[in-house]
Structure 1
Amino acid sequence: MRNLLVSAAFGAVLFAVPAVAQTAPTAQQRTVETGLIAATIIDGKAESWTIEQRMARWKVPGVSIAVVDNGKIVWSRGYGVVSADGKAPVTPDTRFQAASISKPVAAIAALSLVQQGTLSLDTDVNATLKSWKLPASDFTRDKPVTLRALLSHTGGTTIHGFPGYAQGVPVATNIQVLNGTPPANTKAVVSEAKPGERWRYSGGGYQIAQQMIEDATGKVFGDVVRDRVLVPAGMTLSGYALPAKGSFAHGHGEDGKPIAGGWHTYPEGAAAGLWTTPTDLAKFGLALTKAWKGEAGAVLNPATAAAMATPVMGDYGLGPSVKGEGDALAFSHGGANEGFRAFWIIHPRTGDGVAVMTNGDSGGQVMMEIVRSVAKAYGWPDFKPVAHKSVALAPDVLAAREGQWIGEAGGDRVTVTARSGGGNMILEAMGASFTFVPTSPTDMINGENGQTASFVTGADGKPVLKMYGLEFRRAE
């Protein structure tokens, strides 16, 4: 646990910052708040909703937003409540779990150590690691795992993400997490592919990077990130200290009910452990913009910032996702911890961006609707809804698809229940219900979030439902 905590002095700063009053909304802000946009436009019909309507739809108790326009944070606001079983409102100062947005923050700390020569991007990670070593394997015999590979998810290391630790249970140290030994609740981090062979998201790789930072500096990870990223970027409400109850958002399940104890604890600081606010994430984005532009006093020098912003494989750079060209060039990352969902994006060329944080497992739905609303209100070139045309299918074709479909995700059985109605299919899975509109004889799309589903025939001649990147077969 002590590997997670920042110094006592920083903890005092984290909790002592006064609240910032929420100002009256501008006309542009109200346009965002009342014009949330679906991922698709079907048959030319574009739906829109208020933030409050979508929070109710997705059972998300609290949302917080910060908008960046032309290089300045132009407004921030909280909506709803910190916890569904209380009345404390979400404000711009309410801290949320950043989840995987912790990764680009950790990456910038590592890159700042690279540019001063304390770490290397392209040498064997085991040359830096002292407290732990990545086990040798056939995958690393000819090419070692490097920090560049870890930060870009091309190192071939295991463990996609971490479930966190419920309140009251023992919390693992980072070494125990890496070794997969009790009380760690995930397996050991090992190599499963040759470095550079493929892109595969690895929270475990970021925990190796966290250990490299500690072993190279002799300091606690949270202290290093504070000194090299949080303080220089002005992120005064961010840190890794376990917060006092009541000051921070509580996580909620897809049913909108609070998580026992308020939240899970994540000793995996680099991968998932940051507590922050949308305003602080907006400041982080502006700090990266300053570095990308080569401005004096930035958190990274121009050469290091260029390395960060260069995709290694696919659209992933050294920390953030890097997409688009020209004014559409964007650094971004999403986050998903137990009971929390978040999204952050900055367009460094134009200085436009947004950070949205939510305290619900279904927050990913409402936050992307908010991002699309911001994009429309502020004239972004990206995040525009995609137009589709529906097709009419015979009632007996739709009726033949009704019933239960069984699939598997991560070793767990997943059931999708399908029923027809109004010429569409209603698919229910994992406690949520979505309407899918036919766009071809086999394909369908959900108008709210753009999720697709296909009813096809498998190689064995039996019907298959393809959805969520999985295959489902009819229940026997």
Structure 2
Amino acid sequence: MRSIVLLASACVVTTSSSVAAAQNPAAIEHHLRYAVRVDGQPDVAMDLLERMRSYHVPGVSIAVIDHDRVVFAKGYGVAAFGGSKSVDSTTLFLAGSISKPVFASGFLRLAEERKISLDADINTLLKSWHLPESKFTEREKVTPRRLLTHSAGLTVWGFPGYALDSAVPSVPQLLDGTPPANTAAVRNDTFPGARWLYSGGGITILQLATTDITGEDFPTLMRRLVLQPAGMMRSTYENPLPMSRRGEAASGHEQIDTPVPGGFHVYPEMAAAGLWTTPSDLARWAIALAHSYRGERGGVLSPAMARQMVSKQMHQQPPYGEGYWGLGVAVIGDGDSLSFSHGGRDEGFVADFFMRPASGRGLVIMMNGVAGGLMGEIERAFAEEYGFGAPPRMTRTIVAKSASELGAYVGRYVGAAGKDTVRFDVSVAPDSKTLQVYNSAGRR
């Protein structure tokens, strides 16, 4: 067994080639690209449906934003493997951690309405539960700002969710790690403000604070604060998704060609992982935040608060990647090239979005299969049309190796992506001329 370190970037949005003279968003579906060009070989453009089959991803939905408009929205494939129901632009997907930035904008709006200081001790905002004091909080306190920038020094990176037929804990049970919670207690294990450490548990504390402050149930509150003002009319934080709406939803696929039992997991950690939405609705939210950022009508926050949200407030450093965080979003670039973004991962679902508020351009991708490689290929197709949205591609030269030389690379590789363990197996291909790589799910 060999050990490697995989650094998970906070944000994949970087400046790429110059912007094309005339963009054709529909061209994205036919111009997927590998991350690596091979010197001396044709640079192949790939079709999205072909790549979905290769990655065993049943369904994908995309929305392209250009000059503050959704100029392209389309679904591909099916809502569940082996099914006949097609994915379209209205199909609901679980957003995973993209739930966090949408929630963050709602919390910031509440903070503006109620004049809540982002630097207040979080325990002064909580009524039904309190974060235990410890040696870590004697001088520095956990605050809303630190919770939103993942710098509060708290545990519990993410959440696996609960099977549909399982008992689901209350939010206080979640935060204390008591049955039937399936995650540990959310507690300080370092000093608030000392360093960046992603904590879905911290966002769940803020979820509880919003309901304690207002007395409203969380889905209703988020509908009032952010979903309706942003025009996200198909979206909901209701979790589990009501029976009356399950026909609108895709089923997640954690394993190859196998739907998650019941279609999805339940996430009582709604702020951190429980948003049901569409790429078009997420695009509307990103556009509304961009309006606020530029001081225009149609936003969800005041200009000052929107600019705070997408400003660089905390430095994310290795071993957890390299980048900067605003209030609930990853931030990269400056001025006209500034982008805010976030990725998402729930049981059987992955998603990603990025937005440049100065130009009103961005991309949202959601899928009901676990394939980060496909996500990257779609983002590179967008970058080819729009000049940003993916890291620059690499060019490499093929070097012939004998089967015995290739054998030196054979084995199981284990690494870390954030707090996740990543495993993949390398073997010599049947032609004895190349290597083949399979991830832990059996995808090549």
Confirm or deny a common fold (TM above 0.5): yes
| SS of alignment partner, residue 212 of structure 2 | helix
Q: Hey, what does 2:318 align to over in structure 1?
A: none
- Please tell me whether the aligned partners of residues 62 and 364 of structure 2 are also in contact (alpha carbons under 8 angstroms): yes
How far 1:423 moved relative to its partner? 4.8
One-letter amino acid of the counterpart of residue 371, structure 1: E
TM-score normalised per structure 1: 0.81
Q: Hey, what does 1:293 align to over in structure 2?
A: 294
Counterpart selection for 2:30 from 24, 28, 34: 34
* Matches of 2:420 and 2:224, distance apart in 1: 42
Q: Hey, what does 1:430 align to over in structure 2?
A: 440
* Matches of 2:386 and 2:416, distance apart in 1: 41
Name the CA shift for 1:415/1:212 in 2 (closer, same or farther; >3 Å).
closer
Listed as ranges, the matches of 1:16-27 within 5 Å are none
Q: Hey, what does 1:356 align to over in structure 2?
A: 365
- Please tell me whether the aligned partners of residues 349 and 369 of structure 2 are also in contact (alpha carbons under 8 angstroms): yes
- Please tell me whether the aligned partners of residues 323 and 329 of structure 1 are also in contact (alpha carbons under 8 angstroms): yes
Listed as ranges, the matches of 1:33-432 within 5 Å are 33-43=29-39, 45=41, 46-241=43-238, 242-244=241-243, 245-314=246-315, 315-362=324-371, 364-380=372-388, 383-393=391-401, 395-404=403-412, 416-421=424-429, 423-432=433-442
How far 1:38 moved relative to its partner? 1.6
Where structure 2 has 5 or more consecutive residues not aligned to the other structure, the ranges are 1-21, 316-323
One-letter amino acid of the counterpart of residue 351, structure 1: G
Whichever of the two has the greater Rg, that structure is 1
Write out per-residue CA displacement over residues 371-410 of structure 1, whole angstroms, 9 at most, x where no aligned residue. Answer: 2212212333754423344555554332233244567899
Query: What is the root-mean-square deviation in Å for CA atoms of aligned residues?
Result: 2.3
| SS of alignment partner, residue 279 of structure 1 | helix
Name the CA shift for 1:67/1:30 in 2 (closer, same or farther; >3 Å).
closer
- Please tell me whether the aligned partners of residues 23 and 385 of structure 2 are also in contact (alpha carbons under 8 angstroms): no
Comparing 36-45 and 406-415, the one that deviates more:
406-415
- Please tell me whether the aligned partners of residues 156 and 200 of structure 1 are also in contact (alpha carbons under 8 angstroms): yes
One-letter amino acid of the counterpart of residue 36, structure 2: T
One-letter amino acid of the counterpart of residue 268, structure 1: E
TM-score normalised per structure 2: 0.86
Percent of aligned positions that are identical: 43
How far 1:118 moved relative to its partner? 4.3
More strand by share: 1
| SS of alignment partner, residue 366 of structure 2 | strand
* Matches of 2:106 and 2:158, distance apart in 1: 20
Count of matched residue pairs:
408
One-letter amino acid of the counterpart of residue 91, structure 1: D
- Please tell me whether the aligned partners of residues 96 and 274 of structure 2 are also in contact (alpha carbons under 8 angstroms): yes
Comparing 371-380 and 53-62, the one that deviates more:
371-380
Where structure 1 has 5 or more consecutive residues not aligned to the other structure, the ranges are 1-25, 435-476
- Please tell me whether the aligned partners of residues 109 and 228 of structure 1 are also in contact (alpha carbons under 8 angstroms): yes
* Matches of 1:225 and 1:56, distance apart in 2: 36
Comparing 350-359 and 400-409, the one that deviates more:
400-409
Determine which structure has greater relative contact order: mean sequence separation of CA pairs < 8 Å that are 6+ residues apart, divided by chain length.
2
* Matches of 1:411 and 1:38, distance apart in 2: 26
One-letter amino acid of the counterpart of residue 173, structure 1: S
Name the CA shift for 1:194/1:395 in 2 (closer, same or farther; >3 Å).
same
* Matches of 2:232 and 2:293, distance apart in 1: 19
Write out per-residue CA displacement over residues 199-222 of structure 1, whole angstroms, 9 at most, x where no aligned residue. Answer: 111100000110111111111122
- Please tell me whether the aligned partners of residues 380 and 389 of structure 2 are also in contact (alpha carbons under 8 angstroms): no
